Structures are given as structure tokens and as C-alpha cells.
Structure 1
Amino acid sequence: MPNYTSPKMRRQRRAHGKDLAYVTLSGKRHYLGTHGTEEAKVLFDATVAQWLSNGRKNPTPPPDITVSELIAMWIRENAAFLKKSSSARCAIKTPNSVMIALYGSTLANEMTPLKMKAVRQVLLSKKFARITINKQIAYLARVFALGVENQCVDPSVHNALKCIKPLERNKTTAHEYNRIRPVPIKDVEATLPFLNKTLADMVQVQLLTGMRPGEVCGLKRAYFNCDGDVWTATLPTHKNSWRGLERVVYFGPEAQQILKPYFLRRKSNEYLFSPGDAFEGDPDRKLGACYTTQSYGRAIYRACLRADVLQWYPNRLRHTAGTECCKKYDLEAAGIMLGHHDPRATRVYAEPDNEKAIRIARAMG
């Protein structure tokens, strides 16, 4: 009877960052993540158990699949979500194109951390913010996780990619995000005359309700309950719908007056704000059923240039609404209007009341 030795978890030391755990089975090294973690122990047990059940042999390698095919698989798996979210489609466009350009024909099982870092270097050269690049690399790692789930990629490939250390603040050439600030009301008012009627109404509805750009773009009559003096709209999809949270938007008298003409023109399942309203005399022009966050933002960008005001984007309107509500009422009221379930999130949107701080300083001397 052969004299077998029990597999042992080993430690690979790293000069910078956390040490890696691995186990060698039948001459092949299997990475298990960060050494000393519970996750590494669980993965060690699972890897060894699979090896033992296979007669002390490593599992048969998954079928060959290229990186391009793997990305296409991820897009197919998430088609329903991507169809609803133009921002999600935009977020994955560049990392997908860079990955395919560099390693599209490479077998997914041949992907290594060094190759992924080469992808990151190209993203760095495109002047993305540090946080954006970290999100892009994390997304690409999730693509390989899907391959593992469907037994198209060896688990050790994904585990190795997860060991890539994110870019850290002040330790990279990537710039930091500037904090999003409220847009001054005077700049909004100066921009409105240079927007078409539909876009100007969208801006004003955002200011009155604190909606996200994507939420105002996707409004439909079917979402509304118009009973009572305050209307409500329950959004079926929104930023936090994956958490099982409900998003209800409240519309007071001013917002209702803006929306009423659109209610008369739209069927229940139609988008309230359509780019077709601005081009009714041009039937040959191909337009979408609704504005996207990108087309909405571009229109405001052009209007700012024509109005000769400092550039602002529609996501800043939500910060303006939150700040104004907090000044007039309190932080809790602002959180309710913005649809937050955690007051810490509201503090990101509602700027500190500097005027109150000045009054306190005067009083205290």
C-alpha cells in the first residue's frame, strides 16, 4: 500500500501586501487566497476533498475558452440587467475593450495576475480615477468568477486574480475623484433657457424631488399613484433594488404642474420624458424611447457652454436638492426625500450648513 503524505497548506510570502496560501497537489500549485484567513481554510478543505475524491488526481482541466468568449458569456448572463442600465453598459465598455485588445484570443485559463496588471496599466494611461480603475479590475475578476461557476475556468485562475492589490491613495499616478458638490441654483437657472422644454422640465423635477438622473430618465406613468395632494412614484428598478429596498419618490404641487402635460400625452407604459418631443417635425431622425443618463448629461454640457456657466452634470442636482432640504428641514427629512435608508449616505449628499457654523462662531466669539 502506497505511503501517502497528507497535503499541507503552505505560505508564500510577499514583499508588499498580504501573504498567499497555497497547497501543492500532484505537482500542481493551487492558490487559496490570503494566508491565515477563514476563506483560505475553507478553500483548502474543498480543494483537497475534490482531489481525494478524484483518486488523488487533479480534476480534468475545464474546456478551452478564450477571454473574449468568457466576456461574451458574462454579457449574455447579465443581459437583462444591462438592458435596463445604460450606466452599467458604459462602465464595462472600456475594461472589456482593453482586455479583448490585449488578451482576447488568450485562453482564460492562461490569465495571470501579471497580465491583469498589464490591463490595469492601459486603464491608467486612459486617465481614469483610481477608484474607477479598481472597480474595472474587480469587474474583470468577476467575469472569471462566472467562468469558474460554469466550470469553464480553473478556480486557481480566479483565486490568483483576486490577489491583485487595489490601487491605493497617494501610491499611484491615477488621480482621485473630486467630491461631487451641489450645483448653485443660479447656474441651473442660467442653463435652463438653453435646454429644450423636455430637458428643462427634467432638470426642475430633479431639483424638486432629489431623483437620480437615471430615475428621472426612466419615469413612466404606470409608476405613479396620484391620489391625494402629494403624488408618489414607486420605481421598480433603481440603484438599491438588488438589496430588496423600495424606492418611493414624492411629488409636490410644483412637480405635479410640470408632469401633468406629459401625463396627457403618454400611455401608461410609455416614458414620460422622450427626446421625440423636441424633434416632432423631423420624422427621419432616429431617437430612443427615452433619454439615457449619457444623452441627458451631454445636453446639459452643451447648454452650459452656451450659457457660459461653470460646467455641471445632472448628478449634482441630487446633491443640491439634498442640501437645500437639509437646510430647510433636517438631515432625516433630506434622507427620506433622497430615498436613503442610512443617515451616513445622506451626509454625502447634504453639504454642511456653513451659514449656521458662521452664526455659531459669531455667538461664541
Structure 2
Amino acid sequence: MSLSKRKPAYLLHRPTGQARVRISGKDTYLGKFGTPESRERYEELVTAWLMGQDPSQVALTIDDLALLFLDFAKTYYRHRDGTETRSTNHFRQALRPVIQLYGQTLVRDFGPRSLKRVRETMIEAGHCRNYINCLVGKIKRVFRWGVEEELVPPGVYQALVAVSGLREGRTAARESDPVRPVPESIVERTLPAFTSVVADMVRLQLLTGMRPGEVCQLRPGDVTRRDNEAWSYIPRHHKTEHHGRQRKIFIGPEGQKILAPYLLRAADAYCFSPRESEQERSRTRRESRQSPMTPSQARRADQRTLCEFYTKDTYNRAIQRGCETAFEMPDELRYIDRFLKRDKSLTPAQLAKLKKERQLEAAAWRKEHCWSPNQLRHTRATTIRERFGLEAAQIVLGHADPKVTEIYAERDFTKAAEIMRLIG
């Protein structure tokens, strides 16, 4: 032990009430100030530092590991053009309950029981079984990375691997509803409730079977046009690009009619703009108003900033909003807060209870009446499989494995019923 080193002080971080110690210019938080646990961690860190060891590897907390991994994820999970993928956000969602429950816990003390407790909170939050298994897998991935970087003892990760995934019928977690094709008659009924931009996105996706994210990121420069032939669209990013696979989407005459006006803009501009869609929606709402807008309302509308392109989430929300309009969702379910504020006689407890009940009713209504962009892909896959077979559906949808296509393309049970009617 070096005697020339001055022992760092045990300090209070007043804004948070935590104990901290500064070693080599870096603050490490130890937990609530004055507790035996924080004192123990302080002594471990200082002893390791005096012995010439790296303190971060001696008393690394879950908080520390999460921050280090997210910094790594921002640079690792990127598209080929250098833009960040959505993976970092997915890991952030997976780590959130871990940090809430065990943020100040030492990494070496996080074991299978801790992971199962985190999983229980996910079940209580209402997540479905498949999604929970996915999040838990990402948590394990964080600890595996920690082992690779010599931040986590190998035994900790090996113990977490022993936690098996939730199995159907053997857990309280709910099962996710299968994604079914949406009947084209339902789509046609909903189209008038959309803006022209969203309606064209829906029509194009229904014709081509492309993924929601692929229709959102479509740009004129990504489309190759040939006279009297199908156009080809190569997305800049797609789901399986990290596997080295190419994705090419073909657009026939009907799709070309829809897309042609949007290809007149700059090559790198997005074809489908939320800004243009919202301007159209605002114009329609203003024309149908019974009274003129106040200056403050007009000012707020003009100050709205919109993204230049749709994401999968905003595209899905635009479709949901159209379904609510087309199928006449009751206003007391669509605008819950607005209606509850009108009743001044409710106590806070009554208000919270009634709001939760209305939210459940609204969720049930949307489940029955609303459809999603992913269902359009299933609809097209089913049609292609019925007319041209499974292999054709696999090629159009861009699946490497035909088993995946079978999930998307509903089997034509009508044919089976007809055969059995004749020979059974």
C-alpha cells in the first residue's frame, strides 16, 4: 500500500442526499448519506484505490453499468450511413425497471432473483409475455457486454443466463394478440377519415406489402423508374440490413399512380411529410369551425414544430386517429381528460378511479375498431399467397425464411373446407 496517497473524504451530495467520494477526479455515488451500506462501499473503493486497483471494477453499480453500456450502444448500434438505430432506445426501455429497483446495487450482487423481481414488475405493468422475454434478453445482453469489458464478474452473467424465459400457459403475463390481416373493405371505409398524405401511404403499403418503416422513409432518390415496367425501391435502412441482406421493393402500375406526384420533390426529401399532412388537417378543421380562432389559438397552431418524416409510431397514431373518426369513437372516451375536468364535484380519488375506468373502456373500443399498419402487410401477404403461392409471398415481403412468411400470410381455410365438403 502506498503511504503517499491521501485518503479521499466521505462527502455529502446535498441536492440528492447521497454520499459520494471523489477519486482521481471522478465522483462515485455511494447511496444514502450516513447509512452503513454507503460507508461499506466507501471503504471498499478507497481500499481498492490505495492498493492500485481500478475502483470502478470493485464497486460498480447497476447505474454505472447502464450508463457505460448506453454510451457504447450509441456508437455501436448504427446504420451503414452512420445514423443511430432504435436499438439504444430499446435497451433504455429494458434497463429502466432495473435501474428503478436496483440502481444502487452492486453489479456483483445482482443475481437471478433480482432479475426475476424486475420481470415481475414488467408483468404487473401489463406487458405481454413475448415483449417481457425480449426485454429480459436485452438485460442479459448488457451484462454479457460487461463481461467482455471486464466490468462484470463472469459468474454474474452465467447465473442470469440460467433464468429461462416465460412460457405460454405457465405465467401470469398476458399473451399478445396475433396480428391479423385487416379486410380491405375496412381500409376503404377508413380512408376518407385520413389526410390525403396518410391515405396515399396506406394505399401504397397495401399494394406493395412493404413494412411501415419502409413507407415512412421513402424518398424520390431511392426509387428507380422504368417505362412500362415495375419501379424498384431500395430503402436506405431496413430490418435485416445488419445481416448483410438487400431489400428491394417493386411498385406496379397502381402504386406508381399514387407515388408519382410525390417524386417531383428533391431526391433526398421524404415523400410523405407530417408537416404537409398536418397543414391539410388544420385547414379542414378551420373550415368546419363554428366560430373564428382566437389569436392565441392561431399562434399556438403556427408555433407547432413537426418532423420532416413519419416514424412507425406517428404513422400508426395517424391511422388510429382516422379509425376513431371513421367509426365514431365516443367523445367521452376519445377526450377523457377534457370530459372529466367538467365535473367539479369529483374528489381526486374519484377522478383517478373514473379516469382509469375510462381508459380501459377506450382501450377496449380501440382494440375492436382500430387497425395498424402492420395489418396491411399481413393483408397483402395473404392475397399474394392465395394467388401465387408461399414462395412468391416470401420474395415480395423480403423474408429469408418461409416460416416467417407463414406467420404473415393467413392460410386459405376456404379451400380446405371445400375439399372436405367434396371428399370428406
TM-score (norm 1): 0.78
Amino acid at match of 1:251: I
| C-alpha spacing 1:269/1:109, structure 2 compared with 1 (3 Å) | farther
Instruction: Work out the CA distance in 2 between the residues paired with 1:74 and 1:299.
Output: 34
Bigger drift between 60-69 and 218-227 goes to 60-69
**Residue in structure 2 matched with residue 65 of structure 1 by the alignment:** 60
Q: Does the 8 Å contact 1:95/1:123 carry over to 2?
A: no
**Residue in structure 1 matched with residue 323 of structure 2 by the alignment:** 304
Query: Cα RMSD between the aligned structures?
Result: 2.1
Q: Provide the secondary structure at the position in 2 that maps to 1:78.
A: helix
Q: Percent identity?
A: 38
Instruction: Work out the CA distance in 2 between the residues paired with 1:313 and 1:348.
Output: 16
Q: Does the 8 Å contact 2:213/2:311 carry over to 1?
A: yes
Indicate yes or no: 2:258 matched with 1:258.
yes
Bigger drift between 91-100 and 206-215 goes to 91-100
**TM-aligned CA deviation for residue 90 of structure 1:** 5.5
Instruction: Work out the CA distance in 2 between the residues paired with 1:254 and 1:84.
Output: 34
Q: Provide the secondary structure at the position in 2 that maps to 1:250.
A: strand
Amino acid at match of 2:408: Y
**Residue in structure 1 matched with residue 354 of structure 2 by the alignment:** none
Q: Does the 8 Å contact 1:276/1:287 carry over to 2?
A: yes
**TM-aligned CA deviation for residue 89 of structure 1:** 5.4
Bigger drift between 253-262 and 90-99 goes to 90-99
Instruction: Work out the CA distance in 2 between the residues paired with 1:90 and 1:60.
Output: 30
Indicate yes or no: 2:403 matched with 1:344.
yes
Amino acid at match of 1:273: F
Q: Which has the larger radius of gyration?
A: 2
**TM-aligned CA deviation for residue 347 of structure 1:** 1.0
Q: How many residues align?
A: 305
Deviations 1:283-317 (A, max 9, x none): 52111121111111111112112111722111111
Q: Provide the secondary structure at the position in 2 that maps to 1:188.
A: helix
Give the unaligned 5+ runs of structure 1: 1-58
**Residue in structure 1 matched with residue 153 of structure 2 by the alignment:** 154
**TM-aligned CA deviation for residue 362 of structure 1:** 2.8
Give the unaligned 5+ runs of structure 2: 1-52, 284-300, 328-367
Instruction: Work out the CA distance in 2 between the residues paired with 1:107 and 1:115.
Output: 12
Q: Does the 8 Å contact 1:201/1:258 carry over to 2?
A: yes
Instruction: Work out the CA distance in 2 between the residues paired with 1:85 and 1:200.
Output: 27
Instruction: Work out the CA distance in 1 between the residues paired with 2:105 and 2:233.
Output: 48
Amino acid at match of 2:276: D
Amino acid at match of 2:401: D
Amino acid at match of 2:69: W
**Residue in structure 1 matched with residue 422 of structure 2 by the alignment:** 363
Task: Map 1:1-365 onto structure 2 (within 5 A).
Answer: 62-79=57-74, 81=77, 84-86=84-86, 88=87, 91-228=90-227, 229-265=229-265, 267-280=266-279, 283-308=302-327, 310-365=369-424
Q: Does the 8 Å contact 2:133/2:165 carry over to 1?
A: yes
Bigger drift between 92-101 and 207-216 goes to 92-101
**TM-aligned CA deviation for residue 63 of structure 1:** 4.6
Instruction: Work out the CA distance in 2 between the residues paired with 1:89 and 1:314.
Output: 23
Q: Provide the secondary structure at the position in 1 that maps to 2:100.
A: helix
